[in-house]
Amino acid sequence: MTETTLDLREVPENERSERLTAAFEALPSGGLLFFTTAEDPRRVLRQLITNLWGRFDWAPLKEGDSQWLSQIVKRERPGPTGLEDMLIVEHRRCDDLFAEAEAAAQEGDQERTELLFGRLEMGMERHFTIEEEGFFQEVDQRMGLMGGGPVAVMRDEHQQMRGMLRRMAGALAESNLEDFLAASDTMIYLMEQHNMKEEEMLYPMAEEVLGAEMDELLQRLYLF
Amino acid sequence: MNRKGLRLDQAPPLHLPLRFFLTAPLFGVGAGLLLAWKGAELLLTPWSFPTLALVHLITLGFLTMVMMGALYQITPVLVGTPVPGTGLVWLVHLGLVCGLAALTLWLLTGAPFLNWLAVAGLLPAFLIFLGQMALALRRAPTWNATVFSIALAVTALALAISLGLVFLGEFAALWQLPARRPLATAHVYLALGGWVGTLITGVGYAVIPMFYLSGKFPAHLTWLVMAFQLLLPISGSLVAFLAPSPVWHLIPLLIAASATGVFTFAVVRALRGRKRRIIDSTLRYWQTGIACAPLSLASLAVFTFHPEFRWLMAFGVLFLLGFAMSILSGMLYKIVAFLVWLHRFSKMAGKMDVPLLRDIIPHRPTALQWWTHLLMLGLLVVAALTGHDGLARAGGLALVVSCGALFLILLRAARFNRPTTSTESTGITATNSSGAATAEPQPPSQGSTEA
Ligand code: HEM
Ligand SMILES: [Fe+2]
Ligand SMILES: [Fe+2]
């Protein structure tokens, strides 16, 4: 894999955002940059949001004792323009990770499967958290759903997906790639039908309900 | 957008779609038996009563049966609103089964009371079904391409059914139709182009990106295909009524070719660019169906210039069995496995011994079933083109085998309700008591025994 990574672990705190911004500006449109930090990258992310909001997508890939790995992508179109934009980007990123992890398992490459699956798990969990603790709650309150309605079904399905991710992780821990693939083949249908319901129905509806204060909400959700 | 109308929790109980999905292959077996019994006689002219029986065993018994079950299942998800009156669905199913059985027997024997029995079964079945769909669509919170294609397909079905029943009325000497032939042509355009064609393409847009992570179909292509599909039955019917010369039939033919061309292009591109590299029977079936669609139209084009019936019969085989039945069979494997899993096992998703889709529908039997389907197609295309009696009967038997195998695979899936440790997982009926400990909300036997 050719992944160029910017190492910010040794960089003094007041220079980090500068270094990251410089590396970001050097990226071509659509370009991808990895960076490692010694602690939770959300600190430097805050500064990024202040400086570069509307031009990038961020995602955590790995958290660790003293080594956190994240990625930022330079957006081709400005955004996220709304919830739909932000959350669908995440769906597609997880789709890609999913397909790559599956392909690695098909090739029998345990190590690479673990690497990619780890990123997938992380991305999915963050996405669930953003939805459950940010976005669903917001929709719940505005529409007076009291935790019921479409949002409740979505929460349920998140639990099922968490279960399937654990199941895949279990197979991977036993180095049973065959079983990992069987579990992933079940997971994909669960995940895609869930995403479809969100993308076709829930997100458009929520955009309408949430309307104006979108940017503020998005920036808050971003830090989840 | 009607926000309060959005419901994402309205998936119907498992036994409801399953009863349609399990009956469909049985009508396929019926069609195969009829063909094996009567032989090439059924492939000589499209207008004979036994041929009509064969055609409707496939179109109503298999294709429409599956598509109705699928609509009950996916409308709540794709349209975002529940289908009302699910308590009546058993009646729809019963009416369709009995009505079609009576229609078939009537076409074969001509006993007059059977004609009435057919109407008594089919009319209420379709009235209820179409009413339910109309209500669900009216409450749709949003009108996207998928909702639109469902509405188009259901409207075409309603018109095709009405014409079909009008024909039955004429056969019962209730009235005399002034323009039977053009009406029959309109019936076929509505049924095949409007109903079967639109619904299958709509399903393709929805599921190919989902199953194979191929990215969404470009919206302009889906709308373009839908525009052609709207024009097809209209132009086909107009031409049938107004234009005596067969050359005019090139207009609907060109429209059908455009729809098929764009759809085929979009699917081939999506499947080529798919991110999931897996190859399963559903993919094989999509490839089969997508290959047969242009071939069927080519054969129809030949018929327009050389009006020999064999080209029309080859079209029928390629379109009904090659295109529609292939794609629906592939879909059945995925939908049934997933529904069984969702209803019975999703609550225990995290456990290591939770059954997976491949336990519910294993790969090997479906791969073998696909081969028998291909064999059947090959035999019947050649039989249609040559009129060879032995090949027609062999093709009929192959249809019995492939639909019979499809039925057995789906039946096993419907009765699957317990994690199994061995690969030989038959004899599941004996385990109902332990099955009750799983997440299945209803008695586990319900799904299979009624269907
Ligand atoms: C209540 C339901 C239906 C009834 C009673 C019915 C009845 C008929 C009748 C009487 C004909 C012969 C017309 C003629 O040549 O004068 C016919 C032709 C045909 N129908 Fe239907 N039909 C029904 C539904 C359908 C559906 C849903 C489909 C397809 C999905 C379909 C496909 C066809 C085809 C392909 C033909 C032409 C067959 C041939 O000429 O051999 N029908 N139908
Ligand atoms: Fe979600
Ligand atoms: Fe989501």
Q: What is the pLDDT of residue A146?
A: 63
Task: Count other Cβ atoms within 10 Å, centred on residue B180.
Answer: 12
How large is the greatest C-alpha to C-alpha distance in chain B, in angstroms?
Answer: 67
Model pLDDT for residues B239-268, shown as the tens digit of each residue: 888 876 777 888 999 999 999 999 999 999
pLDDT surpasses 90 at A217: no
pLDDT surpasses 90 at B413: yes
Q: Identify all chain B residues contacting A149, using CB atoms and an 8 Å cutoff.
A: 6-7, 9
Chain B's closest residue to A153, CA to CA, is B9
pLDDT surpasses 80 at B368: yes
- CATH homologous superfamily of B8-414 equals Cytochrome c oxidase-like, subunit I domain (1.20.210.10)
pLDDT surpasses 90 at A84: no
Residue A218 structure tokens: 């998005």
Q: What percent of chain B has pLDDT over 70?
A: 90
B356 touches chain A (CB under 8 A): yes
B181 within ligand 1 shell (Cβ under 6 A): no
Q: What is the pLDDT of residue A220?
A: 78
Ramachandran assignment for A35, one of left (phi > 0), alpha (psi -120 to 50 degrees), beta (any other): beta
Q: What average pLDDT does range B401-409 have in this prediction?
A: 98
**Comparison of pLDDT for B190 and B145, the residue scoring more:** B190
Taking the domains of chain A in order of start, what are their residue ranges?
3-74, 83-221
Cα of A208 vs centre of ligand 1, distance in Å, is 46
B152 within ligand 1 shell (Cβ under 6 A): no
**Helical ranges in B172-218 per DSSP H:** 180-188, 198-212
Please check whether residue B6 is in contact with residue A202, taking contact to mean a CB–CB distance below 8 angstroms. yes
B357 touches chain A (CB under 8 A): yes
**Comparison of pLDDT for B425 and A185, the residue scoring more:** A185
pLDDT surpasses 80 at B13: yes
Give the CA dihedral B351, B357, B361, B364, nearest 10 degrees: -100
pLDDT surpasses 90 at A166: yes
Q: Which residue CA neighbors atom 37 of ligand 1 most closely?
A: B188
Q: What is the pLDDT of residue B101?
A: 97
Q: What is the pLDDT of residue A213?
A: 64
B125 within ligand 1 shell (Cβ under 6 A): no
Q: What is the DSSP string of B240-302?
A: HHH--SGGGGHHHHHHHHHHHHHHHHHHHHHHHT-S-----HHHHHHHHHHHHHHHHHHHHHH
Q: Chain A interface, mutation test: which of B10, B142, B144, B210, most A Cβ atoms within 10 Å?
A: B210
Question: Which pairing describes strands A56-62 and A5-7: parallel, antiparallel, or unpaired?
Answer: unpaired
Q: Identify all chain A residues contacting B211, using CB atoms and an 8 Å cutoff.
A: 188-189, 192
Rg of chain A over CA atoms, in angstroms?
A: 18
Check B210 against A189: CB less than 8 A apart: yes
A205 touches chain B (CB under 8 A): yes
CATH number of the structural domain A3-74: 3.30.110.40
ipTM of this complex: 0.82
For residue A187, which of B342, B430, B110, B6 has the smallest C-alpha distance? B342
Taking the domains of chain B in order of start, what are their residue ranges?
8-414
From the CA of B98, how many Å to the nearest CA of chain A? 34
Among B47, B52, B106, B309, the mutation site with the greatest number of ligand 1 atoms within 8 A of its Cβ is B52
pLDDT surpasses 50 at B426: no
Q: How confident is the model at residue B448 (pLDDT cuts 50, 70, 90)?
A: very low
Task: Count other Cβ atoms within 10 Å, centred on residue B305.
Answer: 11
pLDDT surpasses 70 at A1: no
Check B1 against A154: CB less than 8 A apart: no
- Which of A178-192, B239-253, B264-278, B313-327 has the least mean pLDDT? B239-253
- Which of B32-46, B130-144, B372-386, B390-404 has the least mean pLDDT? B130-144
Give the CA dihedral B270, B273, B275, B281, nearest 10 degrees: 60
Q: What percent of chain B has pLDDT over 90?
A: 62
Q: What is the pLDDT of residue B204?
A: 87
From the CA of B410, how many Å to the nearest CA of chain A? 17
Among B64, B123, B167, the mutation site with the greatest number of ligand 1 atoms within 8 A of its Cβ is B167
Please check whether residue B413 is in contact with residue B337, taking contact to mean a CB–CB distance below 8 angstroms. yes
B350 touches chain A (CB under 8 A): yes
pLDDT surpasses 50 at B441: no
Ligand number with the minimum distance to the CA of A83: 3
Chain A's closest residue to B77, CA to CA, is A197
Q: What average pLDDT does range B321-334 have in this prediction?
A: 96
**Comparison of pLDDT for A150 and B194, the residue scoring more:** B194
Please check whether residue B176 is in contact with residue B170, taking contact to mean a CB–CB distance below 8 angstroms. yes
CATH class entry, domain A83-221: mainly alpha
From the CA of B77, how many Å to the nearest CA of chain A? 7
B160 within ligand 1 shell (Cβ under 6 A): yes
Average pLDDT, chain B: 87
Among A153, A163, A204, the residue with its CB nearest the CB of B8 is A153
